[in-house]
């Protein structure tokens, strides 16, 4: 199909979809209205389990089983990217050359790394009382490590980032979530039911299993993002295309410039 | 105008699909898919909004405070996480495609190759 034909077809279809969407939107509940039956019940259920962050309660208590599925999607996506971006036959791995970084950026990175790491862990640990949780905190923790790449160079990041350890961490986080579910069954309750003591509302030791599941998710997300970024950075910085074979075909590694 | 937030969600969806249809670059297409998906965030949050509502986190507000719907907020969180990981997987596919075929223009990828 020509580009023009495709565009005409899209515009016709989009007009129909737009009309249908507009008709549906008019029939939706009034924007900003006070009628939220599910929301009110979810808030009441969060209070019943002494969880101050109602969103964390929905994700890790009321819909904990769905979040296991969501976490598995993340795990599968990391695994898929790892398989797709592996070093293929004929590709060479060239250690990246150390680069000069301006002292100001280096100092800023060194200063920010521990702060960012702490903020990430804080966000994971306080997921049950303040906005945040395993998903958000995990990404912040992974970002902290990559400040090394900005402040120093890729070699420094690689030395302080044993990738196989993070791959294990990714799998362990995923497994910890499922194991928590099995533990709740062994405790005589439903899969991923909130069986731990609920504690005091609004304190660090509240909300029961929400804390455990947040920690599991935080570990998986942090390790998963590190592994994911590592595969992309390897492609960009280390792995080189095979040289087109010609004549004697003795392409020596380490020859090409960056 | 009470349907405007919903219409914005519909607009973001359609503009994302437009980008996908007319894309000449697969990385651009992956970006358009992310835009299309972000329309669901706007729609979910618009449905859950309550006039004068605050975040459904009771760490610093009284228990009888007027809050927005936490269920759709949790769904949006799920949506964002899945969207980000799927985007990463698709970008990995694009890199692999570029290695095999030497192009990321979808129009040049029509022929089957062994």
Domains and CATH numbers, chain B: 4-109 (1.10.287.3510)
| pLDDT-based confidence at residue A244 (cuts at 50, 70, 90) | low
Tell me the C-alpha distance between B93 and B88, whole Å. 9
In a domain, residue A212? The reply is: yes
B89: nearest CB among A21, A32, A77: A77
Tell me the C-alpha distance between A57 and A34, whole Å. 21
pLDDT tens digits along A151-194: 877 777 777 788 888 888 888 988 898 898 888 888 877 787 77
pLDDT tens digits along B22-47: 888 899 999 999 999 999 999 999 98
pLDDT tens digits along B59-92: 788 877 788 888 998 889 888 988 888 899 999 9
pLDDT tens digits along A36-51: 888 888 888 888 888 8
Average of per-residue pLDDT across B5-12 = 92
Q: How many residues does chain A have?
A: 258
Residue listed under structure tokens 């009470």 = B2
In a domain, residue A33? The reply is: no
Chain B residues with CB-CB distance to A18 below 8 A: 10, 14
In a domain, residue A130? The reply is: yes
Tell me the C-alpha distance between B7 and A26, whole Å. 9
Domain of A74 in residue numbering reads as 40-87+100-236
| pLDDT-based confidence at residue B10 (cuts at 50, 70, 90) | very high
Its pTM stands at 0.80
Quote the pLDDT of residue A158: 78
Quote the pLDDT of residue A127: 82
Chain A residues with CB-CB distance to B48 below 8 A: 36, 39
Quote the pLDDT of residue A249: 41
Top pLDDT among B21 and A161 is at B21
Structure tokens at B20: 């996908």
In a domain, residue A172? The reply is: yes
Flag if A42 and B70 touch (Cβ within 8 Å).
yes
In a domain, residue A44? The reply is: yes
Chain A residues with CB-CB distance to B91 below 8 A: 232
Q: State yes or no: pLDDT of A243 exceeds 70.
A: no
In a domain, residue A72? The reply is: yes
In a domain, residue A185? The reply is: yes
pLDDT tens digits along A95-115: 777 777 788 888 888 888 899
The total number of structural domains that make up chain A: 1
Tell me the C-alpha distance between A96 and B73, whole Å. 42
In a domain, residue A67? The reply is: yes
């Amino acid at each position: 199909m020509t580009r023009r034909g495709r565009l005409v077809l899209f515009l016709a279809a989009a007009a129909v979809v737009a009309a249908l969407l507009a008709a549906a939107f008019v029939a939706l509940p009034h924007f900003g209205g006070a009628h939220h039956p599910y929301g009110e019940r979810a808030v009441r259920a969060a209070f019943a389990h002494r969880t101050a962050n109602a969103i964390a309660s929905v994700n890790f208590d009321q819909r904990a089983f769905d979040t296991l599925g969501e976490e598995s999607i993340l795990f599968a996506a990391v695994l898929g990217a790892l398989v797709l971006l592996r070093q293929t036959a004929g590709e060479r791995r060239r250690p990246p050359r150390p680069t000069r970084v301006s002292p100001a950026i280096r100092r800023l990175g060194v200063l920010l790394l521990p702060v960012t790491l702490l903020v990430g862990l804080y966000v994971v640990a306080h997921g049950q009382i303040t906005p945040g949780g395993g998903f958000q905190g995990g990404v912040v923790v992974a970002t902290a490590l990559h400040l090394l790449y900005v402040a120093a160079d890729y070699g420094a990041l690689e030395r302080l980032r044993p990738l196989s350890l993070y791959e294990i961490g990714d799998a362990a986080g995923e497994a910890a979530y499922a194991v928590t579910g099995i533990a709740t069954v062994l405790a005589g309750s439903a899969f991923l039911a909130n069986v731990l003591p609920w504690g005091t509302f609004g304190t660090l030791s509240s909300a029961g299993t929400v804390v455990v599941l947040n920690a599991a998710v935080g570990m998986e997300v942090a390790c998963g993002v590190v592994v994911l970024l590592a595969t992309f950075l390897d492609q960009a910085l280390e792995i080189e295309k095979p040289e087109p074979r010609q004549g004697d075909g003795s392409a020596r590694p380490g020859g090409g410039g960056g | 105008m009470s349907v405007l937030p919903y219409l914005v969600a519909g607009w973001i969806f359609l503009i994302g699909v437009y980008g996908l249809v007319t894309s000449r670059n697969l990385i651009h297409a992956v970006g358009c898919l992310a835009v299309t998906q972000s329309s669901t965030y706007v729609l979910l949050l618009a449905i859950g909004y309550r006039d004068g509502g605050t975040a459904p986190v009771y760490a610093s507000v009284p228990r009888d405070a007027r809050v927005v719907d936490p269920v759709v907020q949790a769904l949006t969180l799920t949506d964002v996480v899945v969207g980000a990981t799927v985007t990463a997987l698709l970008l990995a596919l694009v890199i692999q495609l570029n290695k095999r075929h030497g192009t990321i223009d979808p129009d040049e990828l029509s022929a089957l190759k062994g």
